[in-house]
Amino acid sequence: MKVLKYFEWLSRQDITSNGDTHHQGIYVAGTERITLFVRVYTVSGTSPTLDLYVDVYDPILNDFVELAHVGTFTSEGTSMHTISVDGGQAFSLRWVVGGTNPEFNVQITAEFRGD
Look at phi and psi of residue 71 and say left if phi exceeds 0, alpha if psi is from -120 to 50, else beta.
Answer: left
pLDDT of res. 19: 61
Alpha carbon of residue 49 to chain centroid: 15
pLDDT digits (tens, 9 = 90+) for 59-85: 999 999 999 999 999 999 999 999 999
pLDDT of res. 23: 52
Alpha carbon of residue 36 to chain centroid: 7
Residue 25 or residue 91, greater confidence: 91
Number of CB atoms found within 10 A of residue 5's CB: 15
pLDDT digits (tens, 9 = 90+) for 12-49: 999 987 665 545 689 999 999 999 999 999 999 999 99
User: The domain that contains 41 carries what CATH number?
Assistant: 2.60.120.380
- Contact (CB, 8 A) for 5 and 113: no
pTM: 0.91
pLDDT of res. 88: 82
Alpha-carbon span 67 to 56, nearest angstrom: 6
Which residue range forms the structural domain that includes residue 21? 2-114
Number of folded domains that form the chain:
1
- pLDDT band of residue 102 (cuts 50, 70, 90) is very high
